[in-house]
Amino acid sequence: MPIGEMKMPMQMIHGEADNNPGTFNIQNERLYKAIKGHGGTVHFVQFPFENHGHAAKENILGMRWEQHRWLEK
């Protein structure tokens, strides 16, 4: 689907130290900028020192808070 046709709001939550070869940080940042640049509704959150799965208690709580805040919109 072309970026300009995306209509649903999207929240992206990612670990800054993600070593998953399918989710490079630069790809996520570019996707965020492309959606935003085409007028889409997108929210990008990146947690420092986190890998593909969030492990730090503070980041897990932060992720839940971000999800709750996003869904309340």
The pTM of the full predicted model, rounded to 2 decimals, is: 0.77
Alpha-carbon distance of 18 to 36, in angstroms, equals: 23
CATH of 3-72, one of 3.40.91, 3.40.50, 2.40.10, 3.40.220: 3.40.50
What are the pLDDT digits (tens) for 5-29?
Answer: 777 899 999 888 888 877 778 888 9
Q: pLDDT tens digit string along 47-62?
A: 888 877 778 888 889 9
CB 63 within 8 A of CB 47: yes
Neighbouring CB atoms inside 10 A of 5's CB total: 8
Contact 63, 31 (CB under 8 A): no
Query: Which residues are CB-contacts of 17 (< 8 A; sequence separation ≥ 6)?
Result: 48, 49, 50, 51
Name residue 44's beta-bridge partners: 12
Q: What residues does each domain of the chain span?
A: 3-72
